[in-house]
Structure 1
Amino acid sequence: MAVRLVQVNLKARDDVALGRFWAAALGWTASGSGRGATPVAPVGFDWTDPDAPVCVDVIAVPDPETVRYRMHIDLATTSAAHQAELVARLLSLGATAADIGQGDVPWTVLADPEGNLFCVLEPREVYRDTGPIAAVVVDCADPRGLAGFWGPALGWISHEVTGDFARLRSASGNGPFLEFIRAPGGATVWHRAHLDVVPCAGDEQAAEVARLRALGVTPSDADPGDVPWVVLADPEGNDFCVLAPG
């Protein structure tokens, strides 16, 4: 039993506009319906496919502001020229340079048109086959502890685990890494991004929710109302959603 990571959920004032930005950034397509949700995925994407890539879902909310960013996306590049071209293209699409105190580093920190931070990495061998999203990165107090939860939750494999950093990836070796980095500060009330997971084929939502609770999830303060997904919080209070199987 396990759940599958299907998407990074981003909050936005204008889901259609932000979805178009991320579609252009990733080379994917945005399929907004005008109902407040704009999925961003490759052409032909089938979210029930167990080998489907981790995608982006942009959701409109009345006030998406937050006081601290705990999760961001890292984009992969294949060469220094590719990195420079991608940064220039993203700036032309409406991204802005961001200074979060990173100093002189080989990667570039940007903010999308609604202020969500992300990084364009320099070429790294570890990310050569991830696709456009190299990693989903979570700031946390205890990387080892969070990896100890998310590894069994997703059935993912640990590739590197230290006291300050942990890296997981699907056992199939497909798609991005899920990374945890030690950072100061605690949880916030509201986050701009969270993970959405879905039970694997043949598994039931209720059974997976019960299993995740046994692994150490905590109650979530979020109240989504009458919806087909379940909102939980990981051991450090990061909300995530367990979607109903398709």
Structure 2
Amino acid sequence: MTDGLLENRLVVLPRRTYCAVMSSRTLTVTFDAHDPTRLAQFWAGLLGREVVEDSGGALLPGDDTQVSLRFAPSRAHQVESARRLHLHLTSASADDQEHTVAAALRLGGGHLDVGQRPEEGHIVLADPEGNAFCVIEPGNNFLAGCGLLGEVACDGTREVGLFWSEALGWPLVWDQNEETAIQSPHGGTKVAWGGPPVTPKEGRNRQRFHLAAAGGDQQAEVDRLIALGATRLEVGADGAVVLADPDGNEFSVNRN
């Protein structure tokens, strides 16, 4: 878990000027799930979103400032090292933090011990399928103004942060000590990478990014991402092209 890094991220870097001319893309985070509908209902209740059926799974659409969440059916065995990201939810006050935690427990979540210290203000929980997430304490400057789903916190190198900045057209808002973070030009959810050491990858990631091809031109989007440093892996049964980013994390590109 990289939550301790939040304590160091108290200043937001100015947005790089070159990002202003880049076309930005929306981002969906896909979770493998044994029961996609159940998991989607949990997160919909926690985030106040609607559940939409999506290719045999379930989707919680976001918007220009909040990433979408998608839950895909999978019977794969859950491998701890295959979890390279988790979500951070924000709090407006101590009462708001308590309310979010209570709502998560009521919806079927549970507390999770990952070695956090008693003096740390964030609360670590797990959703009904064991995916870790944190409810961040109020007053966190790094996530101020990011919305309820404040951050997608990832295990990864600086190189992969720079790759995703270019891939999405999202400017860097943090780049220090091998840690990086990006954010849509519209604001909202940040995506951050904690830098080395990175947990060795074993098997396919349980959570991964999903992109829709700009203008529906899937091949052009795949070619663009490969030119930025991605590696082509395979074509899925649903027609999505599966690539790997510079850290070896799988992600998919759909036609729309």
Q: CA deviation at 1:126?
A: 3.4
Contact 1:2 1:199 in 2 (8 A): no
Of 135, 145, 152, 1:129 maps to 145
1:239 to 1:188, Cα distance in 2 relative to 1, 3 A:
same
1:70-117 CA distance string (max 9 Å, x none): 111111111111011111111111111111122232111111000011
2:251 partner letter: F
1:38 pairs with 2:58:
yes
Q: Give the whole-Å Cα distance in 1 for the aligned partners of 2:142 and 2:92.
A: 11
Alignment of 1:168-187 (within 5 A): 168-173=182-187, 175-182=188-195, 183-187=197-201
Secondary structure of residue in 2 paired with 1:149: helix
1:95-149 CA distance string (max 9 Å, x none): 1111112223211111100001111111223323322210111102x2x211211
Q: Give the whole-Å Cα distance in 2 for the aligned partners of 1:12 and 1:63.
A: 9
Of 111, 116, 129, 2:126 maps to 111
Contact 1:197 1:241 in 2 (8 A): yes
Secondary structure of residue in 1 paired with 2:27: strand
* TM-score, normalised with respect to structure 2: 0.83
Query: Which is worse superposed, 90-99 or 57-66?
Result: 57-66
Secondary structure of residue in 1 paired with 2:239: coil
Quick one: percent identity of the two aligned structures?
A: 33
Secondary structure of residue in 2 paired with 1:5: coil
Q: Residue 66 of structure 2 aligns with which residue? A: 53
* TM-score, normalised with respect to structure 1: 0.86
Q: CA deviation at 1:6?
A: 2.8
Q: Residue 19 of structure 2 aligns with which residue? A: none
1:125-174 CA distance string (max 9 Å, x none): 3323322210111102x2x211211111111111111234211111222x
1:163 partner letter: N
- Which runs of 5 or more residues in structure 1 are unaligned? 46-50
- Which runs of 5 or more residues in structure 2 are unaligned? 1-21
1:32-55 CA distance string (max 9 Å, x none): 47x63111236xx7xxxxx36311
Q: How many residues align?
A: 231
